[in-house]
Amino acid sequence: MGYQAKFRVWRGAGRPDETITATEADGALHDYEVEVNEGEVVLDVIHRLQQTQTPDLAVRWNCKAGKCGSCSAEVNGKPRLMCMTRMSTFDEAETVTVTPIRTFPLIRDLVTDVSYNYEKAREMPAFAPPPGVEPGEYRMQQVDVERSQEFRKCIECFLCQNTCHVVRDHEENKPEFSGPRLFIRAAELDMHPLDDRADRKEFAQAEQGIGYCNITKCCSEVCPEHIHITDNAIIPMKERVVDRKYDPITWLGSKIGRR
């Protein structure tokens, strides 16, 4: 059975921050009543809102199947994919509040500028096989393939980047901090037996700012692919960084190995 849901949606180019008194021009939360049908998700309701009441509502989406990572937003204050958030999880009398993810500059309504993530991705040295090994000649053990398979499930929704407190309320940390999405990429390459490029541990520490992470695990909690970002990527990477730097036997071994 359908019903009329109460939706509160951010409209405008200002920031949905309760500490700021938003004007209509800057942006404000707007209230709507929208039809909801059985089996629908939040993105369906946002689309119906566009079709029936707010044709100029800006919203980014693509696959509507939880695989493109485009429709990230905060639903009742929680970072979510709108296409994977079922309306049945809310009480029919409840007001559902939809605001843009807030760690990135707002463009308008529910759309943010996520360039920060791409800039950080560009800083990372790409995978490089050993000299003389051509594409098509890569051979590796199945166990090595499986070890990093989890990290390749990332759909780049950037909910982990959005929720990490290191940058969420601290714009000033962005130049030094690449964030959990890029830490799993570094971990994946560090585990790759054919990656002959840079020292990923050194890069994670010196260039990506992995030391800023204090293991709050918020990134893992919001990951729609259920990647164990903290336990399987960040903590092992931190341990390897510490081993390299402070364990005397590892340190000595690396010195001898370099000769």
Q: Where along the sequence are the contacts to ligand F3S (CB under 6 A)?
A: 164, 166, 180, 213-219, 230, 234
99 vs 103, which CB is nearer to ligand F3S?
Answer: 103
CA nearest neighbour of 72 among 154, 194, 17, 136: 154
Six-digit token string for 119: 């800039």
Neighbour-count burial of 164, counting CB atoms closer than 10 A to its CB (0-12 exposed, 13-18 middle, 19+ buried): buried
User: At its nearest, how many Å lie between ligand F3S and the CB of residue 173?
Assistant: 10
d(CA 10, CA 98): 7
228 vs 244, which CB is nearer to ligand F3S?
Answer: 228
User: At its nearest, how many Å lie between ligand F3S and the CB of residue 233?
Assistant: 9
12 vs 69, which CB is nearer to ligand F3S?
Answer: 69
C-alpha distances out from residue 10 to 4, 90, 111, 226, Å: 19, 19, 10, 28
85 vs 162, which CB is nearer to ligand F3S?
Answer: 162
14 vs 180, which CB is nearer to ligand F3S?
Answer: 180
User: At its nearest, how many Å lie between ligand F3S and the CB of residue 221?
Assistant: 8
Contact 87, 36 (CB under 8 A): yes
User: At its nearest, how many Å lie between ligand F3S and the CB of residue 220?
Assistant: 7
User: At its nearest, how many Å lie between ligand F3S and the CB of residue 74?
Assistant: 15
CA nearest neighbour of 210 among 250, 245, 249: 245
d(CA 224, CA 253): 40
DSSP-assigned letter for residue 81:
E
- Bridge-partner residues for 81, per DSSP? 72
Give 250's contacts (C-beta < 8 A, 6+ positions apart): 243, 244
User: At its nearest, how many Å lie between ligand F3S and the CB of residue 212?
Assistant: 7
99 vs 162, which CB is nearer to ligand F3S?
Answer: 162
